[in-house]
Amino acid sequence: MMHGMRKGLTNYGDAGFSLFLRKAFIKAMGFSDDALERPIIGITNTFSDFNPCHGNVPKLIEAVKRGVMLAGGLPMEFPTISIHESFAHPTSMYLRNLLALDTEELIRAQPMDSVVLIGGCDKNIPAQLMAAASADLPAIVLPTGPMLVGHYKGEVLGACTDCRRLWAGFRAGTMSEEAIEQVNSRLAPTNGTCMVMGTASTVACMTEALGMALPGTATVPATHADRLRAAEASGAAAVRLASGGPKPSEIMTAAAFRNALVVLQAIGGSTNALIHFTAVAGRLGLALDMDAFDAMGRDVPVLVDLKPSGDHYMEHFHWAGGVPRLLRELSDQLDLSLPTVGGSTLGAIAEAAEEVPGQNVIRTRAQPIATGGGLAVLRGNLAPNTALIKRSAATAALLQHEGRAVVFDGLEDMAARLDDDALDVQADDVLVLRNAGPKGAPGMPEAGYIPIPRKLARQGVKDMVRISDARMSGTAFGTIVLHIAPEAAIGGPLGLVRNGDRIRLDVEARRIDLLVGDEELAARQAVWQKPPAPANATRGYARLFQEQITQADQGCDFAFCLPTS
């Protein structure tokens, strides 16, 4: 097995010449022969002017390089795609698999003995883990870290749970235009990822629990010196990984995914994370067991008191002891014998967790935020292949609810009619959004957080049961059933719902059902018409996406990226 500069030579039919040529070119960058003999550590550069969540990446790279060189390696930074939630049309999910392909192939194509994957904003670390799983070169993840909190008139604010809450207030007329403009400048006050337990934070915490990142790296604020020290340590760890691993497939085992899912429940984490980790596991030929995950949700309490399920923000979680302290609290539900990229077992990390007297962000098992876990897996005649609800961010009184369906046929239909005063809608109705799944929208937008119709919002209605084949932001809250599979656009039963039908949600029984007889449903199925594919899906990436994207319960990966048996 070749290492360093000798690895993965470009094919000219003469290996000696390929190496000669490679060294001749790289020497144009001023490298010495001594440097070129060292183990090579790749470092992904996901900096982009369009990605403020990655604004600290240049400094992180500098610190990783320092760590690599102090440990005797040669750091080689290389660019990949960078995806920010608000700068990705039609959705960031649409691009996740493109980043996974890009990262996988660059890891494979360029000579490196291990790789440091620096990511943060929601889709980046999942894509990088998918790439690492498929390339199976020793890898370590370095999250960019969460933003610090913002402040407005004595109130602590954070992106983007408070973005949604305050925007809802503006829609309802309780907040002025001037005030909402002022708040707009305060919600995201530093570089880094959203500082609530949204998707980015959830994925970072799960990555730590999975064993793919150093302890503490999920939670240290993006702008703190500790994060640069963690970057330096990640560089040094990558040099150790370069000589003998373990490889991602040896860290990301079925037991390690189980640990990550326990943490997902205990942090009241984002529903999106389940799609992402299903995709990462799928790259290794592993299927996450949804029934086991749901059963876990009945046993594992929500222990971390962060928005949107609780009150605090990521920097508070960090100073309360972060993921290691949480692992200690969950120790009887985890496999602590598993290895991590830093060299210690998960158990040793939990053992070394900082004990912070009086902290109330990481609760004890005796005083959880919620007794059941954050997420529940639903089935029923509306969701034969599962749907998901974030129980911890829902209204308790709506978890058992029956109501009349008010149906929107897609994003445009919803935008056109939702705020129309003539819309026939009442507070106890069930809002239904369809054709917003992986293929239907396309890209499964975070539109599942259907706004409360304006006329009801003005009456003070704060939550309603909302169901869709879309996703929602991990920072959102409400009684919202998501990821209904199969999606309406490929013939799922969500496409058969009509205005006025009765829908029953029973989270305790894990059911979401359309109360319409089988005969009537069969008659509706017989006349159902498939919505047209997006106009641009005749070529290029849009076509690839339409042809290859899998459903939410399969991780929304491209089918051709799954391992062949």
145 binds ligand FES (CB under 6 A): no
Nearest to 82 by CA among 107, 114, 117: 117
**φ and ψ at 210, to 5 degrees?**
-70, -20
Please select the residue that binds ligand FES; options are 73, 138, 150, 198, rule is CB under 6 A: 198
Judged by CB, which is closer to ligand FES: 363, or 390?
390
Integer Cα distance of 553 and 386 in angstroms: 7
In the complex with ligand FES, the residue whose CB is nearer, 121 or 472, is 121
Q: How many CB atoms lie within 10 A of CB 562?
A: 18
476 sits near ligand FES (criterion: CB under 6 A): no
Determine the Cα–Cα distance for residues 70 and 285; give it in Å rounded to an integer. Answer: 37
Nearer to ligand FES, 194 or 430 (CB): 194
Q: Are 168 and 460 in contact (CB under 8 A)?
A: no
Q: Which two tokens stand for residue 14?
A: 């003469």
Tell me the residue length of the chain: 565
Stretch that binds ligand FES, among 58-66, 192-200, 282-290, 430-438 (CB under 6 A): 192-200
Member of 5, 40, 41, 53 binding ligand FES (CB under 6 A): 53
User: What does residue 536 show for φ and ψ, rounded to 5 degrees?
Assistant: -85, 5
SS3 558: strand
**At its nearest, how many Å lie between ligand FES and the CB of residue 189?**
13
Q: Is 161 in the site for ligand FES (CB under 6 A)?
A: no
C-alpha angle 418-421-424 in degrees, rounded to nearest 5: 70
* Residue 162 found at the interface with ligand FES (CB under 6 A): no
Q: Indicate whether 308 belongs to the interface with ligand FES (CB under 6 A).
A: no
Out of 137, 200, 304, 326, the residue judged to bind ligand FES by CB under 6 A: 200
Residue 248 lies near ligand FES (rule: CB under 6 A): no
Q: How far is the CB of 427 from ligand FES (least distance, A)?
A: 30
Which range binds ligand FES by CB under 6 A, 190-198, 241-249, 251-259, 286-294? Answer: 190-198
Nearest one of 165, 208, 212 to 317, comparing CA atoms: 208
193 vs 222: CA distance, rounded Å: 8
Q: Considering CB under 6 A, how many residues would be counted as binding ligand FES?
A: 10
Q: Find the binder of ligand FES among 121, 204, 222, 346 (CB under 6 A).
A: 121
Among 103, 193, 386, 479, binds ligand FES (CB under 6 A): 193
User: Among 122, 232, 305, 446, which residue sits at the site for ligand FES (rule: CB under 6 A)?
Assistant: 122
Q: Binding mask 2-21 vs ligand FES (x if CB under 6 A, - otherwise)?
A: --------------------
Angle between helices 322-329 and 254-266 (to 10 degrees): 100
Q: Does 85 bind ligand FES (CB under 6 A)?
A: yes
| Contact status, residue 469 vs residue 494, Cβ threshold 8 Å | yes
How far apart, in whole angstroms, are the C-alpha atoms of residue 460 and residue 222? 37
**Out of 137, 194, 376, 430, which residue is the one contacting ligand FES (CB under 6 A)?**
194
403 sits in which H/E element? strand 400-408
8 Å CB contact between 307 and 473: no
Cβ atoms of 162 and 114 within 8 Å: the answer is: no
Of residues 103 and 193, the one with the C-beta less far from ligand FES: 193
Binding site for ligand FES (CB under 6 A): 53, 84-85, 121-122, 159, 193-194, 198, 200
